[in-house]
């Protein structure tokens, strides 16, 4: 349980920092930056809880609020140094989506939703904080345009149900499918994989940069 | 009941395709296109269910997920052919909003909401999938700017309560008010009706195209 | 209770008008203007109710619907005269956020949420109607960029819990902390206060107007 808490906090920190950076790029004021950090960190889980009818997690547990508040202040103060942490932040973020995907799936299973929906809920938990961040910053959500991100979550989600079918224990399933998400994303970034484009070559060249 | 299911699926197909087309115009990747198709098709109903405190429909019924998945794949593959289906898609879309408006109204009635709110909920069920689609694609929602679309839903909604007042059976009321929505939209498009502008002539000419 | 109702209506009117003005600036049609007015007026409270699991207020009480409908029609008809009401509207708006902040806090307290979360819920009740308005109009929410607005709500929220700690009665606490919100905003506007920028001087000068 301790490991989970640490992973959860690392993920929250990484998500909050990505919010801070996006908000600062839009020249928001201190309140705007805090809200965007907050929404990026808890948005996916909030949407998940509302959709499946659970009480919203962060409202009952001040840990998230404190972590996000401290992260935002530290990140805003030392923003020029964040570039040196790029790799660590990417790693934390990846750990975060791995964890959130599997936690989301388990919550959805607990109310008896069908597997395909559970995978969707897990993916949403992991990805929609970033989607809401981008909408509030008046951008087309970045995960709709590039990067294997949601796809990694879906892969991990599918492997969760494969492992359950194979009869593995819940703990093992939890760990392996979380690791699948993390590995899929790491490999995708290392080998610069992207989702196949549905657009032709010619169209591609007309694209604005 | 069978007819309703077919209409529901036709509507879902039309909504999903409109999502696919909007997402492709924004050059989203495969995941982005799928999400936009999904949100366009189920977004209005999801908002309705959350507002009135019902369990979210598509999470309990995989039909929608399958229809949207297949539609998205087929539409993305044969996108250059979609132009030949323009009329059919418009018709399906119109059938969809007729059905969703009335279903939304009946759900709202079932928890005892006042008529004006029921009409609002029905209109929202029919129209807000498109609103969320446009927000995710970073556009001002098209239904706020032109076309008799929501207005057709409101007309159908009002006629629902008029028919109930006249003492007609629920089935007849359901059918007639759905048909009112469909006819209002068809006639509006045929005769190129628009909502009266609240802006003066002079202002109009300054408008960017 | 009568005073509260009057304040609530004044706030709703001011919020609806700010929605009408934003929607008209975007050249929306009559339906678009109505929806934006509606969302601006009830959006914050709706989000609050969904997050804390309460039934959505405006769906059970037609007063809001009527006030917003009438306000929208009158504001759209006499829009050229609204400039003369600027001060009154600003005052109503400020009364509105004062009231909504404290009402939001009390609702959150009633389900046993911790103080920090209650302040967040109160601030959200007051501010997120405007956030949703700006998102629907494809703008970065104005409260994330300038003006002491949310900050006034947070100040009022904090003073609420300070007053409770001091042992004051609920009524007195309600009034004083609402007044804190109102005064904070009035003073901020009078003295042109802004949140401290986290950006350097040099960066500032590069900003697009």
- Give the closest-approach CA distance of C157 to chain B in angstroms: 27
- The partner residue sitting opposite B50, judged by closest CB among A50, A131, A146, is A50
In the predicted model, what is the mean pLDDT of chain A?
87
> Residues B141-162: pLDDT tens digits?
988 887 678 899 999 999 999 9
Tokens of A202: 């010619």
Q: State the Cα angle at A136 between C177 and C67, rounded to 5°.
A: 55
Q: How far is CA A42 from the centre of its chain?
A: 10
Q: How confident is the model at residue B208, as a pLDDT? A: 41
- Local structure of A28: helix, strand or coil: coil
Cross-chain residue pair B29–A194, CB shorter than 8 Å: yes
Task: Tell me the average pLDDT across B103-119.
Answer: 94
Tokens of A15: 């998500």
Cross-chain residue pair C131–A135, CB shorter than 8 Å: no
Cross-chain residue pair C138–A137, CB shorter than 8 Å: no
Percent of chain A with pLDDT over 90: 56
Tokens of C148: 């002491």
- The partner residue sitting opposite A145, judged by closest CB among B29, B56, B76, is B29
Q: How far is CA C1 from the centre of its chain?
A: 20
* Terminal Cα-to-Cα distance of chain B (whole angstroms): 45
Say if residue B191's pLDDT is above 90.
no
Return d(Cα A117, Cα B13) in angstroms, integer: 19
Query: What are the chain C neighbours of A33 within 8 Å (beta carbons)?
Result: 144, 198
Q: Of residues C133 and C194, which shows the higher confidence score?
A: C133
Selection from A134, A137, A133 nearest residue A27 by Cα:
A137
At B205, the pLDDT band (50, 70, 90 cuts) reads very low
Q: State the Cα angle at C63 between C62 and C64, rounded to 5°.
A: 90
Torsion-angle region of B53 (φ positive above 0: left; ψ -120 to 50: alpha; else: beta): left
Say if residue A111's pLDDT is above 60.
yes
> Residues B8-49: pLDDT tens digits?
888 899 999 999 988 988 888 888 999 999 999 999 999 999
Return d(Cα B114, Cα B117) in angstroms, integer: 6
DSSP state of A82: G
Residue A165: exposure state from Cβ atoms within 10 A (0-12, 13-18, ≥19): exposed
DSSP state of A168: -
Query: What are the chain B neighbours of C30 within 8 Å (beta carbons)?
Result: 195-196, 198
Task: Tell me the average pLDDT across A23-35.
Answer: 89
Return d(Cα B200, Cα A101) in angstroms, integer: 52
Q: How confident is the model at residue B29, as a pLDDT? A: 87
Task: Tell me the average pLDDT across A106-124.
Answer: 94
Report the residue of chain A nearest B53, measured CA to CA: A53
Instruction: State the best of B52, B144, B196 to mutate against chain C, taking most chain C CBs within 10 Å.
Output: B144
Q: How confident is the model at residue B1, as a pLDDT? A: 54
Say if residue C90's pLDDT is above 90.
no
> Residues B79-107: pLDDT tens digits?
888 878 888 888 888 999 999 999 999 99
Q: How confident is the model at residue C197, as a pLDDT? A: 59
Q: How confident is the model at residue A206, as a pLDDT? A: 39
At C29, the pLDDT band (50, 70, 90 cuts) reads confident
**Would you tell me how many other CB atoms lie within 10 Å of the CB of residue B73?**
15
Chains within contact range of chain C (3+ C-beta pairs < 8 Å): A, B
DSSP symbols for chain C:
-HHHHHHHHHHHHHHHHHHHHHHHHTT--HHHHHHHHHHHHHHHHHHHHHHHTPPPHHHH-HHHHHHHHHHHHHHHHTGGGGGGGHHHHHHHHHHHHHHHHHHHHHHHHHTT--HHHHHHHHHHHHHHHHHHHHHHTTS--GGGTSSSSHHHHHHHHHHHHHHHHTT--HHHHHHHHHHHHHHHHHHHHHTT--PPPSS-HHHHHH---
- Residues of A at the C interface (Cβ-Cβ below 8 Å)? 23-24, 26-33, 35-36, 46, 50, 55-56, 58-60, 62, 65, 76, 79, 135-138
- Give the closest-approach CA distance of B157 to chain C in angstroms: 15
Tokens of C168: 């004051």
> Residues A138-187: pLDDT tens digits?
988 988 887 678 899 999 999 999 999 999 998 899 999 999 999 999 99
Say if residue C195's pLDDT is above 70.
no
At A208, the pLDDT band (50, 70, 90 cuts) reads very low
Chains within contact range of chain B (3+ C-beta pairs < 8 Å): A, C
Selection from A126, A133, A132, A149 nearest residue A19 by Cα:
A133
Say if residue C183's pLDDT is above 90.
yes
Query: What are the chain C neighbours of A32 within 8 Å (beta carbons)?
Result: 141, 143-145
- Residues of A at the B interface (Cβ-Cβ below 8 Å)? 50-53, 113-114, 116-117, 120-121, 131, 135, 138-141, 143-146, 150-151, 194-199, 207
Q: How confident is the model at residue C83, as a pLDDT? A: 78
- The partner residue sitting opposite A29, judged by closest CB among C50, C138, C144, is C144
- The partner residue sitting opposite A145, judged by closest CB among B28, B56, B58, is B28
Of A62-66, A101-105, C62-66, C76-80, the least confident:
C76-80
- The partner residue sitting opposite A65, judged by closest CB among C50, C116, C139, is C116
At C206, the pLDDT band (50, 70, 90 cuts) reads very low
Return d(Cα B112, Cα B107) in angstroms, integer: 9
Task: Tell me the average pLDDT across A51-67.
Answer: 91
Q: How confident is the model at residue A144, as a pLDDT? A: 85
Please state, in angstroms and as integers, the Cα–Cα distance from residue A8 to each residue in A14, A125, A194, B113, following that order. Answer: 10, 13, 27, 41
- Give the closest-approach CA distance of C156 to chain A in angstroms: 15
Q: How confident is the model at residue B97, as a pLDDT? A: 92
- Residues of C at the B interface (Cβ-Cβ below 8 Å)? 23-24, 26-33, 35-36, 46, 50, 55-56, 58-60, 62, 65, 76, 79, 135-138
- Residues of B at the C interface (Cβ-Cβ below 8 Å)? 50-53, 113-114, 116-117, 120-121, 131, 135, 138-141, 143-146, 150-151, 194-199, 207
Q: How confident is the model at residue A195, as a pLDDT? A: 61
Q: Of residues B149 and C110, which shows the higher confidence score?
A: C110
Q: How confident is the model at residue C208, as a pLDDT? A: 41
Q: How confident is the model at residue C156, as a pLDDT? A: 95
Are B71 and B16 in contact by the 8 Å Cβ rule? The answer is yes
Percent of chain B with pLDDT over 90: 57
């Amino acid at each position: 349980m301790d490991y989970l808490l640490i992973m959860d906090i690392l993920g929250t920190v990484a998500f909050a920092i990505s919010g801070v950076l996006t908000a600062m790029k839009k020249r928001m004021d201190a309140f705007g930056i805090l809200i965007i950090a907050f929404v990026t960190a808890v948005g996916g889980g909030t949407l998940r809880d509302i959709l499946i009818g659970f009480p919203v997690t962060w409202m009952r547990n001040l840990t998230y609020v404190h972590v996000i508040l401290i992260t935002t202040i530290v990140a805003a103060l030392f923003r020029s140094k964040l570039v040196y942490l790029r790799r660590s932040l990417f790693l934390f973020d990846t750990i975060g989506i791995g964890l959130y995907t599997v936690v989301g799936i388990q919550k959805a299973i607990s109310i008896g939703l069908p597997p395909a929906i559970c995978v969707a809920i897990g993916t949403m938990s992991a990805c929609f904080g970033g989607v809401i961040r981008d909408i509030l910053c008046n951008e087309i959500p970045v995960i709709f345009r590039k990067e294997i991100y949601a796809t990694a979550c879906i892969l991990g989600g599918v492997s969760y149900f494969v492992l359950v079918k194979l009869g593995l224990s819940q703990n093992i399933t939890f760990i392996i499918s979380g690791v699948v998400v993390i590995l899929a994303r790491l490999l995708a970034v290392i080998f610069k994989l992207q989702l196949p484009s549905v657009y032709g070559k010619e169209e591609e060249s007309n694209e604005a940069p």
